[in-house]
Amino acid sequence: MIRAFVDRIETTDTERTLAVLLIRLPDGDYLQWLCPVEWLPPATREGDWLRVEFTQDRETQAKMRSEIESLLQELQGE
């Protein structure tokens, strides 16, 4: 699990709203992560702390692998 600080929320030139998340690295530096606000919990505001967890998506992985294999077979004329 990773903790991220919501540093600020910005609107881009294309009218997209992004949150600038800061993640502290082990060496003391910070990583900036631009994240669409719609990916965040409702009512997330500047100054909030978030917990971020990555999990494997085996279902999507299997689906994508199958689609790629089908496409390769089609391209090879099989």
Please tell me the pTM assigned to this model.
0.75
Comparing CA positions, the residue from 58, 8, 56 lying closest to residue 32 is: 8
Supply the pLDDT for residue 14: 84
Strand 17-24 and strand 49-52: pairing? unpaired
Report pLDDT digits (tens) over 4-60.
999 999 998 888 999 999 999 999 999 999 999 999 999 999 999 999 999 999 999
pLDDT (0 to 100) of residue 78: 64
Tell me the pLDDT band of 77, cut-offs 50, 70 and 90.
confident
Task: Please state the domain extents for the chain.
Answer: 2-75
